[in-house]
Structure 1
């Protein structure tokens, strides 16, 4: 787990991504509250550090003023040492994370930590274990260099956007059009290209009304879609089939289990016909 912590932080600093100046607001659709909360928590911690110095580090590592139910601040020195954390990474306080990295990531981390202090809040995205549910989820983190320290705070994004769902649908349809056999095979073996966080592809043979590929539950492959039921027991198979009947595209909503949160949530599925197949990708809207 320690290696993954170090790796995640290196990826956080090494990835290219947007940079935001003082006063700028960057919001991810659907996570406006969480984004503002993380930015405000980071600003609060940086302000306190500038006024109180190193004495504030102990406060950052305690539950209270610098933590929320889903967000906490952590601090790493420019020597790669974890100095403070209000979350599970507190167990690494005082340890140099760099020896846990391979040469490439160690170089990227050192380059980032040796960059000049610019009073700018940077933003990156990576995957990390959510301490609330124990699952690896997408996380956006804001961080800022202050003297010889990097302060950071972030939030988890367990639900993808409608735009991301449509992009995956576009990619899947295009791949299926160019190489049907290989694409179905990749979907069924949960290839990461077709399985992105809580988004995945499933494909229905329109003639036989059976699943020929499913990116989350391979046990459904070969099953009759007409008998498919949602998470609440409602018969949803006929609804899926009728959504594209007589048209090239369609969409419908039903309750289904979110593979990331593990909860029964309202899922909105986008479908498109490609030859004899119905290709589908759905995104989650939270608990119904």
Structure 2
């Protein structure tokens, strides 16, 4: 075999290997940029003041039953010590008998609630009992009639088992208004003007002053399309708009970015996870552009949750 033929074969082999390498590299790049549903990479939860109050009240009630015995649950119906504003304590037996309540559910006292359902047919008391028997404590989420507006609202109840009694306190996740979202956005814009670096750090602090209930700030670079800040989902920071889909698999960040490039400011409606209720709800985000950055704050409205 002469030298020229060896050279040709070598070049051919190199070309094939190089082609395989390029295809592999391209394949890896494609994998890295494939859009992902946000629910697969982020499950944000913000501990609200109401949640903290509910847990504190529950702890006090549990200690009371531990010290005074099962019959002391009747104190939950009359002692103001076990009522905190709209929050109250209730108790039921592991057999499903409803024992006491300091709130509107007192109408259930004496009844079996094993088959009681929420407004969507969820037997949440039965779920609570099952978890209490197996784990001793936990939480359940359901839709219950809110006494303030008589509507079926998402409610979260924390509970703990004490012997044969389940002690519980529930709360309705707070829902911010459009005006509150606008005010937080205005504060965020002012903070960026004062110090961009410091403001981004503050926006990314889940325990900071720019997370208010279900409101938080997010910032996206207009050129790269990457998130620079996200108040409740730090795992999204650094990801591109093209990588993230909404819970209903829509490229909402891409659409919002395109609108911002055209208009500079506006409001955009989409489906997103509420960090307070842990439910997918309708979100309305106000956004503005400053220094080539999209800054947004959104609020949630009542809708059928998934």
Q: Using structure 1 for the length normalisation, give the TM-score.
A: 0.50
Question: What pairs with 1:141-156 in structure 2 (closer than 5 Å)?
Answer: 156=172
Q: Which residue of 2 aligns with 1:174?
A: 190
- The alpha-carbon distance between structure 1 residues 235 and 186, as it changes in their structure 2 partners (threshold 3 A), is same
Aligned residue-pair number? 169
Q: Distance in 1 between matches of 2:238 and 2:271?
A: 22
Q: Which residue of 1 aligns with 2:249?
A: 233
SS in 1 for 2:200: helix
Matched, 1:244 2:260: yes
Which one of the candidate residues 205, 210, 220 is aligned to 2:221? 205
- The alpha-carbon distance between structure 1 residues 131 and 267, as it changes in their structure 2 partners (threshold 3 A), is closer
- The alpha-carbon distance between structure 1 residues 191 and 60, as it changes in their structure 2 partners (threshold 3 A), is closer
Q: Distance in 1 between matches of 2:274 and 2:83?
A: 35
Deviation sequence 1:221-250 (CA, Å, 0-9, x none): 111113321111122122110221232311
Q: Is the 8 A contact 1:5 1:89 kept in 2?
A: no
SS in 1 for 2:267: strand
Gaps of 5+ in 1: 9-57, 62-73, 94-129, 136-153
- The alpha-carbon distance between structure 1 residues 269 and 86, as it changes in their structure 2 partners (threshold 3 A), is closer
Q: Distance in 2 between matches of 1:217 and 1:251?
A: 21
Matched, 1:132 2:148: no
Q: Distance in 1 between matches of 2:183 and 2:256?
A: 20
Q: Is the 8 A contact 2:269 2:284 kept in 1?
A: yes
Question: What pairs with 1:265-280 in structure 2 (closer than 5 Å)?
Answer: 265-280=281-296
The Cα shift of 1:190 comes to 1.7
Deviation sequence 1:32-56 (CA, Å, 0-9, x none): xxxxxxxxxxxxxxxxxxxxxxxxx
SS in 2 for 1:245: helix
Q: Is the 8 A contact 2:155 2:173 kept in 1?
A: no
Q: Distance in 2 between matches of 1:164 and 1:240?
A: 21
- The alpha-carbon distance between structure 1 residues 245 and 261, as it changes in their structure 2 partners (threshold 3 A), is same
Deviation sequence 1:55-112 (CA, Å, 0-9, x none): xxx6982xxxxxxxxxxxx752xxxx55999932779x9xxxxxxxxxxxxxxxxxxx
Matched, 1:4 2:59: no
Gaps of 5+ in 2: 1-52, 61-73, 93-99, 101-153, 160-169
SS in 2 for 1:265: strand
Q: Distance in 1 between matches of 2:230 and 2:83?
A: 44
- The alpha-carbon distance between structure 1 residues 87 and 169, as it changes in their structure 2 partners (threshold 3 A), is same
The Cα shift of 1:220 comes to 0.7
Which is richer in helix?
Answer: 2
RMSD in angstroms over aligned alpha carbons? Answer: 3.8
Moved over 6 A (4+): 83-86
Q: Distance in 2 between matches of 1:86 and 1:175?
A: 35
SS in 1 for 2:209: helix
Q: Is the 8 A contact 1:230 1:256 kept in 2?
A: yes
Q: Distance in 1 between matches of 2:87 and 2:294?
A: 47
SS in 2 for 1:234: coil
Q: Is the 8 A contact 1:88 1:131 kept in 2?
A: no
Question: What pairs with 1:20-35 in structure 2 (closer than 5 Å)?
Answer: none
SS in 2 for 1:132: strand
- The alpha-carbon distance between structure 1 residues 262 and 75, as it changes in their structure 2 partners (threshold 3 A), is same
Q: Using structure 2 for the length normalisation, give the TM-score.
A: 0.48
The Cα shift of 1:273 comes to 0.8
The Cα shift of 1:2 comes to 9.3
Q: Is the 8 A contact 2:219 2:296 kept in 1?
A: yes
- The alpha-carbon distance between structure 1 residues 168 and 2, as it changes in their structure 2 partners (threshold 3 A), is closer
